[in-house]
Chains A and B, each alone.
Chain A
Amino acid sequence: MTELTIDNLNVWFGHGRDRVDAVKGATFSVEKGESFGLVGESGSGKSTILRAITGLVSTWSGQITVAGKPLGPKRDRAFYKTVQMVFQDPYASLHPRHSVDQVLGETLYLHGLGDIDKRVSKLLDDVGLGGKFRFRYPHQLSGGQRQRVAIARALAGEPEVLLLDEPTSALDVSVQAEILNLLTDLREDRGLTYLMVSHDLAVVGHMCERLAVMKGGEIVEVMSADALRHNQATHPYSQALLQASIGG
């Protein structure tokens, strides 16, 4: 079953002379329970695709379908129960004066869920934080702990799809390993679908079954992680990207 379909997606910013076509004719689909990667150089349009899906950018054309429903210009509450996003910099995405308890409590409330106290503590357990972090503020957390809070917040409404934008790029490799393991476990336990952006091919190779390679707003190739590992990229740009990232 297909969870997410992107069909001929165009996204632009600005008008006339200043117009930037950030995404041009992107097409791919992600199966339910699948993890799909987006790779490419900075500025190639990866984040813009995620932002168009979650409704953070409204200047787009084409078709986006989530769980069988085509998306219009506005996202309703039900959409955010299905799709959630996790950003690269959890510090910027957490309110500095809200404790972990407030962040998660409010999110649960906005999703219209009851039993908030119990759910907050369950969420903290699920992301490996536990109760002692409940009343801390973002500045009292390490980068990895903040990213766990951001993941807990994304999980609060029990979504089906997580859009992950460079979720571990700002973290040390040791902490990255912990967060990637957490994401692997959560996907398995909850049957989540991931669309994951990363500039690190090894991370995408580890986390995803398939990936799309982007260049200048266009998808130049969609391939399996197996093909990536066996150096079977067919487009010259993907080959160059692979070469540069494994060195030599």
Chain B
Amino acid sequence: MTLLDVENLWVKFPTRQGIFDAVRGVSFTLGRERLGIVGESGSGKSMTGRAILRLIRPPGIVTADHITLEGQDLMTLSERDMRDVRGQKISMVMQDPKFSLNPVMTIGDQIIEAYRLHSKSTKAQAYDKAIAMLEAVAIRDAARVMRAYPHEMSGGMGQRIMIAMMLIPNPKILIADEPTSALDVSVQRQVLSIMDKLVTERGMGLIFISHDLNLVSEFCDRVLIMYAGRIVEVCDAANLHEAQHPYTRGLLNSLPRLDAPRKRLEVLKRDPAWSEAPSVGGRQ
């Protein structure tokens, strides 16, 4: 079932040298699945995620034939209606939780405030819900965490708290932009398995943005590979290692591997044709 349908999405920035196209005619659908978006920095991954939520700040310009969520074209919504979509239907988790949480408010107060913004409830109900949310993201001593301030949390805890906050309105779609890039591998796995559970148990759609090919291949169902604002290849995550596009192959081959030692690593040779070719469709 399709949750989100994006058709011909462009993100443009006026610069002194003329218009810079950060995202160039990208189309894809998202079902109840884990959809990965990978590519080098600057390839347009974050701008794609933000554009869906219409979070591109002026002078940036977003155009699309449509961005349809449950039959409703987000492109036609007022800013006010869009705010409801952002809170209730689509949530976004950013790379660094430190910049997303309010440093002078306890974590409990932040979660309770977020919850009461979305549902008419008493403080006590909101408190219980907040505890349940923290437990859902595998935080054991939830009552203590509620009283703590963001700076008292490790990176992995902070990221789990962010995910808990994003889940409060029970969104249909979670967009996670490099949610684990700042975390140690062991903590990374915990955060991933929490998101995984949410997709399976709640039937959520997940857009997982990452520069880490191995991670995406392991964790996602489908992957869009972006280069210079375009989708150059779409594949099943499990088959990412058999990807065909020379860009994807180049990225894979440039990784050092414990199981295949070699003296020098393969270096990516860029072909101008990669950025000129039209975007590949990411429809399911």
Chain A positions within 8 Å of B, measured between CB atoms, are 41-42, 143, 172-174, 176-178, 180-181, 184, 199-203, 205-207, 228-229, 240-241, 244-247
Contact = CB atoms under 8 A, between A and B. Distances in A.
A174 B184 contact: no
Contact of A199 (B155, B184, B251): B184
Contact of B211 (A173, A180, A240): A173
Interface stretch (B69-77, B127-135, B264-272): B264-272
Contacts of B184: 41-42, 199
Q: Which 8 A-B pairs have the closest CB atoms?
A: A206-B256, A177-B254, A177-B265, A174-B268, A172-B40, A244-B185, A41-B184, A202-B256
B164 to A, nearest CB: 22
Specify the main secondary structure of chain A where it touches its partner.
helix
Given A42-B184, A173-B211, A205 B258 contact: yes
B263 A176 contact: no
A188 B78 CA distance: 62
Given A173-B211, A174-B40, A181-B267, A244 B256 contact: no
Contacts of A229: 258-259, 261
A174 B254 contact: yes
Interface in B173-188: 184-186, 188
Contact of A184 (B211, B214, B264): B264
B213 A173 contact: yes
B15 to A, nearest CB: 15
Interface centre among B188, B211, B218, B258, by most chain A C-beta atoms within 10 angstroms, is: B258
A180 B259 CA distance: 18
26 contacts: A172-B41, A172-B211, A173-B211, A173-B254, A174-B40, A174-B254, A174-B268, A177-B254, A177-B255, A177-B265, A177-B268, A180-B256, A181-B264, A181-B267, A184-B263, A184-B264, A202-B255, A202-B256, A202-B257, A202-B258, A205-B256, A205-B258, A228-B258, A241-B185, A244-B185, A244-B186
A42 B186 CA distance: 11
Given A41-B186, A173-B255, A244-B186, A206 B265 contact: yes
Contact of B186 (A143, A201, A241): A241
Given A174-B267, A205-B258, A241-B185, 18 more contacts: A41-B184, A173-B40, A173-B254, A174-B250, A177-B254, A177-B265, A177-B268, A178-B267, A199-B184, A201-B258, A206-B261, A207-B256, A228-B258, A229-B258, A241-B186, A244-B185, A244-B189, A247-B214
Contacts of A177: 254-256, 265-268
Contacts of B188: 244
A173 to B, nearest CB: 5
Contacts of B189: 244
Interface centre among B41, B256, B263, B266, by most chain A C-beta atoms within 10 angstroms, is: B256
Contacts of A245: 185
A162 to B, nearest CB: 18
Interface string B39-82: 01100000000000000000000000000000000000000000
Interface string B202-240: 000000000101100010000000000000000000000
Nearest to B247: A174
A200 to B, nearest CB: 8
Nearest to B265: A177
Nearest to B255: A173
B151 to A, nearest CB: 15
Nearest to A181: B264
Contacts of A203: 256
Nearest to A229: B258
Contacts of B254: 173-174, 176-177
Interface in B105-125: none
Contacts of A199: 184-185
B158 to A, nearest CB: 13
A173 B251 CA distance: 7
Interface string B240-284: 000000000011001111110101111110000000000000000
A84 to B, nearest CB: 23
A172 B212 CA distance: 9
Contacts of B257: 202, 206
A174 B263 contact: no
Nearest to A176: B254
Contacts of B268: 174, 177
Contacts of A240: 186
Nearest to B256: A206
A200 B256 CA distance: 10
Interface string B137-171: 00000000000000000010000000000000000
Contacts of A205: 256, 258, 261
A201 B184 CA distance: 12
A199 B184 CA distance: 8
